[in-house]
Amino acid sequence: MAQQTPPLVMMLLLCTLSANSSFQPALVLEMAKILLENYCFPENLVGMQEAIQHAINSGEILQISDRKTLAAVLTVGVQGALNDPRLTVSYEPNFVPVMPPMLPSLPVDQLIRLVKNSVKLDILENNVGYLRIDRIIGEETATKLGSLLRDNIWDKVAHTSSLIFDLRYSTAGEQSGVPFIISYFLDSEPIIHIDTVYDRPSNTTRELWTMPSIMAERYGKKKDVIILTSKRTIGAAEAVAYTLKHLKRAIIVGERSAGGSVKVRKIRIAQSEFYITVPVARSVSPITGQSWEVSGVSPTVNVNAKEAVAKAKSLLVMRSAIPKAVQHISDIIGMFYAFTDRVPALLQHLQSTDLFSIVSEEDLAVFLNQELQNVSEDPRLIIKYMQNNAAIVEEDPELYKVPDDPQLLQAMVDTMFKVEILSGNTGYLRFDKFVMLSAVDKFDELMGKKVWEPLKDTNNLIIDLRYNTGGSSTSLALILSYLQDSSQNYNFFTIYDRIQNTTTEHGSLPRITGPTYGSKRGVYVFTSYYTASVGEEFAYLMQSLHRGTVIGEITSGTLMHSKTFQIEETYIAITVPFINFIDNNGECWLGGGVVPDAIVLAEEAVDHIHDIADFHNGLRSLIEETGKLLEKHYAIHEVALKVSSVLLSKWAEGFYWSVVDFESLASQLTADLQDTSGDHRLHIFLCDVEPESIHDVPKIPTAEEVGYIIDALFKIELLPGNVGYLRFDMMADIEVVKAIGPQLIKSVWSKILNTDALIIDMRYNTGGYSTAIPLLCTYFFDTEPLRHLYTVFDRTTTTMTEVMTLSQIRGQRYGSSKDIYILTSHMTGSAAEVFTRTMKDLNRATIIGEPTIGGSLSSGTYQIRDSILYASIPNQVVLSAITGKVWSLAGLEPHVFAQANDALPVAQRIIAARLLKTDKGT
């Protein structure tokens, strides 16, 4: 505020009125003094008095002859400057201050008369209490009238079932009476901090708390309380409404309150006839960190004040029905919900859920729906508000029954199935519903002749479910049996029925009359947004059984195997799944729509079938070639043999039917390679042109480029305690290092050589070339003996190479006696990881930070046949110089674990502690 005082003064003082008489600037200075000593936000007044004096001295104050106009101008100025509408300046030459009598000083009979005039109590229908208070009496007055208030008001209210607390006409009161009212509507424990009041004139702060004991029987916190407010509600009544609302103890119905003040004073400005009204105290709620002052209390339910009582009554009726509705919902879940193991948690949650904020049935439905789905993690369990009380219609199972009459059955099969042979010898089968089978044999015989006999010699099969809206799950096993080899038994799915308390497994049928289609040929299931219910189950099973490819649109996500119940005396309905549909992997399908393997517009599905089928015809050769490349180049041969075998097995078992193009094939192959080998470095990717290897011969920098390279790659610093810090984010090739060597020694190495300890920061080093690792390591060991760093086995050349320190290097060595600390992160990989692991393996450095990425020392890139797919295959492994074993692929574990961002300060603390220990030892 102090930085903006000149504009504040302009707002306070400047106007365009002409003047005939002189205005005394002292009036403004006195007003500023009053504000500084009394205004409850003194922090907003910093610099105000100095700014006013500056304005007076500079002649900014204009001449205003009319005193009332001046008062109005000052009011606008001070309100605008401090953004507080409670501040007013008035010109009142005949003002006589009137001090209202203090209530506690009044005789008891007058107090009783005042209370009777300001309090009204009534008991409404259904034992609903109605309490109207137009004046909040203070603590001292309440004590004086203790038994009278208790017997005639509070104890009578306490026995009501719910309460309408009417503060619409409450325009006076004392803040000291607020804690009693708040306490009355709460339990005795715990004691709660409800308000903090700062008084500027005394510069004191007072905290208001609930009372551990009160003079009346408490209403408690379990029964509903609705507070009515209006635009006239002001002062202590606002404090009551605001606090109970934010304690979630009362629902506010009506209009936003006036936004009054804890305490205001009308103060005369010097010896003039001008007065300024100032809020001298302020309230800050510890519950919200804000206040009801100025802004008022916003209602939970906004209605005209005149309509507030009627709204409150209807709201109480609605809320009184909530326990019964919740209990009905609990009963339905307990009786029907298919996930029986989740029922206890759901019922417990329903009983303990806080429903304070519910003000309508729609609120209740939305709230409970969200709560139940969060707890159950089941999108099928749904609670809805049925606004028009629409009739709940359940599908008639008779629609899908197979007739017993042979002629009617034949007519059903003829009209139900549409069979064609398309170009490319592709079979086409369409049916728009799944029938309910009681006797399989008759239906199967007719279906075998109508469907499977014409389709038996096709190369591929389309099953068109774009118009299939469901039916009965009982026919699923029959159709699926035709799509498997008859020599094997399969478990297709399992159904758990909560109502019948039965678990039924549905697998291959032992005898089917028509010719089976088998499991080797491609089956392509067409779906659309209209595909629903059992049609979705079939598409889902074709994916989970790895028997076919789904092409088209995401299915409708229609709820299946559920019952919908109307909650008594409400517009709320609950849909409960009473059957769990469990696939062959033991996973319960929760619906939500089937996502096709190839997402295309439903009407365009036929256009894509031939391309996808042709792609599938070439899959085996691509998968075989991937396995051969692994066997030839992957560093660990026995792992390559295993992975190659698994890839072919997965193809034979149908796991690659979901692959529809090179992109999805690359993703699937990468996942299978990494899962089977445990090596995340194996990777299949797409590339339209042959990718360049990062290990191509590096470019040797020119003399002019050397300085730029050093500045870009290296960062050095001398830390407290003579600790060196070296960071480099890429491992350069040995030839590049040799080329920049002289300048590197001068600009980097010489500046950290004589430090007592060295921190090497590899947190941002993702690797590069490994050729310079021996040279880098050599600087941290003595000349003799040469140290064996690690051994590299190269699968491509089948050679073993021992990597040693070098006998001669440029510049001085750091030596083997001073401490080295290497910082790592999840980004540290490849050659950077090899350097770090070597230093750890040889006990030459303390590693601090996060586990490294586990990147490879060297990978080769190989084209898969003549396709656009390439395989990145690690062709080298590193063996420990100490154990002779292959280094783990999982990455390097640091000695000291720390978040990457914290690794440097952790290293500094460790160094300081070691130096302190060394000093004490000497």
Q: What is the DSSP string of 540-589?
A: HHHHHTT--EEEES-------SEEEEEPTTSSEEEEEE-EEEEETTSPBP
**Tokens of residue 389, six digits:** 């009380």
Q: Out of 401-405, 432-436, 525-529, pick the least confident.
A: 401-405
Instruction: Indicate if the pLDDT at residue 4 is higher than 50.
Output: no
Higher pLDDT, 907 or 701: 907
CA dihedral 369, 374, 375, 379 (to 10 degrees): 70
What local confidence, expressed as pLDDT, does residue 673 receive? 96
The predicted-structure confidence for 628-641, as pLDDT tens digits, reads as follows 999 999 988 999 99
pLDDT at 708: 82
Residue 761 near residue 724 (C-beta atoms within 8 A)? no
**Dihedral-angle region of residue 21 (phi above 0 means left; psi in -120 to 50 means alpha; beta otherwise):** beta
Residue 24 pLDDT = 55
Query: If you ran DSSP here, which 8-state letter would residue 142 be given?
Result: H
Rounded mean pLDDT of 396-401?
A: 65
Interval 544-565: pLDDT, tens: 999 999 999 999 988 778 999 9
**Confidence bin at 160 (pLDDT 50/70/90):** very high
Q: Confirm whether 319-385 and 397-557+592-612 share one CATH topology.
A: no
pLDDT at 699 over 80: no
Give the model confidence (pLDDT) of 14-46 as tens digits: 433 333 334 457 788 888 889 989 999 988 887
Query: Residue 621 pLDDT > 60, yes or no?
Result: yes
Per the prediction, the chain carries an average pLDDT of: 88
The one-letter code for the residue type at 54 is H
* pLDDT band of 53, cuts 50, 70, 90: low
**In the chain, what are the domain boundaries?**
2-91, 103-193+209-260+296-306, 319-385, 397-557+592-612, 720-855+891-917
Say which residue, 877 or 499, is predicted with more confidence.
499
Of residues 24 and 133, more confidently modeled:
133
**What is the structure's pLDDT at 190?**
92
In whole angstroms, give the CA distance from residue 80 to residue 70.
15
As a whole number, mean pLDDT of residues 618-629 equals: 96
Q: What CA–CA distance (Å, rounded) separates 757 from 750?
A: 14
Distance CA 172, CA 133 (A): 10
CATH of 319-385, one of 1.10.3720.10, 3.40.50.800, 3.30.750.44, 3.10.105.10: 3.30.750.44
d(CA 204, CA 28): 27
Q: Is the alpha carbon torsion for 763, 764, 767, 771 positive or negative?
A: negative
User: How is domain 720-855+891-917 classified at the CATH fold level?
Assistant: 2-enoyl-CoA Hydratase; Chain A, domain 1 (3.90.226)
Q: What is the CA radius of gyration of the chain?
A: 42
Sheet holding 301-302, edge to edge: 119-124, 128-133, 162-166, 225-229, 251-254, 301-302
- pLDDT of 281-303, one tens digit each? 999 999 999 999 999 999 999 99
Q: Who wins on pLDDT, 641 or 47? A: 641
Q: Which CATH number fits domain 397-557+592-612: 3.40.50.720, 3.20.20.150, 3.40.1170.10, 3.90.226.10?
A: 3.90.226.10
* Confidence label for 270 from pLDDT (cuts 50, 70 and 90): confident
- pTM score, whole prediction: 0.74
Q: Is the pLDDT at 9 greater than 60, yes or no?
A: no
**pLDDT at site 180:** 93
Alpha-carbon distance of 386 to 367, in angstroms, equals 15
CATH 3.90.1170.50 fits 103-193+209-260+296-306, yes or no: no
More confident residue, 387 or 515: 515
Query: Would you place residue 61 in the very low, low, confident or very high pLDDT band (cuts 50, 70, 90)?
Result: very low
